[in-house]
Amino acid sequence: MTFLSLIACLFLLNPTPAEDRPNVVVFIVDDMGWQDTSVPFHVETTPFNERYQTPNMERLAADGLKLTNGYASAPVCTPTRTSLMTGRAPARNRITYWTFDRNKDTSSRHDSLRAPAWNVNGLQPGDSVLPEILGERGYRTIHAGKAHWGAHDTAGSDPENLGFDVNIAGHASGAPGSYYGKHRFKNAKSETDFSKDSKWDVPGLERFHDQDIYLTEALQVRAVEEIDRAVADGVPFYLHFAPYAVHTPIMPNPRHLEDYADLHPREAAYATMVESMDVALGEILETLERNGVAEDTIVIFTSDNGGLSAHGRGGEAHTHNKPLRSGKGSAYEGGVRVPWIIHWPGRTEPGSVTDVPVVTQDLFPTILEATGGLEGVPGSRQLDGIDLAPVLDGEAPERFNKRPIVFHQPHVWGPRGPGILPYSAVRQGDWKLIYFHADRRFELYDLSRDLGEETDLSREHPEELQRLAGILGHWMRNAEAQMSIDTTTGKPVEWPDQVTLSSDP
């Protein structure tokens, strides 16, 4: 036996004591845009930053690291959420759109394309996902809020089948029937008739039914109870706190409405949802402090996709993430760039900022390395995420600036708007290339000069287009990505480098 083998065996026999490992809180908001906060992620404070009241996000950023080039893995929810669980990009998981019913494709119709045979049932047991591995290390794994990893009537619809010891209100649906306890969080047809059930009804919160309580508040109460219990039991914990907010239905929390009297009523309602989310964050932070474990807990804040803007909001559509272009469902930055804050006591410098591009699947190896390494990850699994430790230490290693971050959505999201089309894209360094599947069209942007993606440089820089198309095509073939199907030919759309290499841009 070699020396290294002996060390490995000793580690397996005597792993790092659980009490010496950090607790982890992942706070992942639903549909929260890059601008839906008083914390500025742009180079300057914007009117949106001045609109929202998120003092606890401000506190977290002051204590930790703000990541201004933070991305969600996809412009819609399930692909991002499953990437966090697996460390793989949506294309490699073949979970490239949001799931709902067993064996049902939720993609909207397109005039000339159809979705490939993607994994419509989502994540299922047996894949050694993040909470399973943490549970094997002695962590108590707690989920609170939106799950949306697997379809209804499949095992993956229940978070407890995916490694969570505790499931608070999580199931297969990605939105609540109602945010009001007085509605029993059901998709009620009236204020008094709760007789009919719906798949949108939030399960497991019966103790809050008929109460004057907002859904985010109920989740916060239960999450605090579970933190208290884990600390009392002396076990390290992983809390995955995923409020259904700020997803539709946009329903105001009356406790905060007076703060937004000057806004459009729909925007005022939305702002109360943002503030309610921030209050929940504050309560969790205070609970860590009260239990004396704040300095032993990594807190990660992010969102599962860009902010809603194509529908459901007040004011002009497609403008709610400015200076980013478009919003949820889109290939443009508004669809995928989201708030990121990480506080790792003793590691992240208080009040620090980085512009290193990061993406959701990076959290999988980062959390595992922080809690004992990558042991437990199947050897056959190819990870797309990278451990963020160097970034958290204040470095900007070339590896992060050179690596391609790939987005792939061979689906049409329901609402229409800029960039809301089947597409693949890659960001590397400051450059971003988008390949729209229907007309095999490219758009190229230099994000360092054009954050709003207003000037397509594909004709001015054909060499950059060719280079990035080659990187994108190579990555996608390696991941066995599924391209949109051309309904005229019945064949998959060409790889991006096949189009570029055979024609002028």
> Is 149 part of any domain?
yes
Average pLDDT of the chain is: 94
Look at residue 414 and tell me if it is in a domain: no
- pLDDT at residue number 196: 80
For residues 232 and 118, state if they share a domain.
Answer: yes
Domain-ending residue, one of 349, 379, 395: 395
Query: What contacts 118, CB < 8 A, 6 or more positions away?
Result: 94, 95, 96, 97, 105, 410, 411, 482
Together in a domain, 463 and 348:
no
Q: Is residue 193 part of a domain?
A: yes
Domain co-membership, 257 together with 390: yes
Residues 198-237 pLDDT 10s? 999 999 999 999 999 999 999 999 999 999 999 999 999 9
Residue with tokens 């208290």: 228
Answer yes or no: are the C-beta atoms of 144 and 219 closer than 8 Å: yes
Mean pLDDT within 403-408: 97
CATH number at residue 277: 3.40.720.10
Answer yes or no: do 391 and 427 share one domain.
Answer: no
Average pLDDT over residues 365-384: 94
Which tokens hold the place of 458?
């594909």
* pLDDT, average across residues 21-27: 97
- Determine, yes or no, domain membership for 154: yes
Do the domain assignments include residue 56? yes
Which residues are CB-neighbours of 140 under 8 A, at least 6 positions away? 165, 166, 226, 230, 233, 235, 236, 237, 238
The answer to whether position 319 is within a domain reads: yes
- The pLDDT confidence band at residue 19, using thresholds 50, 70 and 90, is low
pLDDT score recorded for residue 500: 59
- List the domain range (segments joined by +) for residue 435: 422-502
pLDDT tens per residue across span 106-135: 999 999 999 999 999 999 998 899 999 999
| 37, 87: one domain | yes
pTM of the predicted structure, to 2 decimals: 0.94
Q: 41 lies in a domain?
A: yes
Residues 187 and 93 in one domain: yes
Tens digits of residue pLDDT in 421-442: 999 999 999 999 999 999 999 9
Q: Are residues 169 and 298 in the same domain?
A: yes
| Residue keyed to tokens 């998120």 | 54
Question: Domain tally for the chain?
Answer: 2
Q: Is 62 exposed, middle or buried (0-12, 13-18, 19+ CB in 10 A)?
A: middle
If asked whether residues 80 and 146 sit together in one domain, one would say yes
Q: How many CB atoms lie within 10 A of CB 97?
A: 25
Mean per-residue pLDDT, 136-156: 98
Q: Are residues 204 and 303 in the same domain?
A: yes
Q: Is the domain of 25 the same as that of 116?
A: yes
Judge if 295 and 372 occupy the same domain. yes
Residue 9 in this model has a pLDDT that exceeds 90:
no
Residues 342 and 457 in one domain: no
**CATH code: domain of residue 436:** 3.30.1120.10
Instruction: Tell me, yes or no, whether 290 lies in a domain.
Output: yes
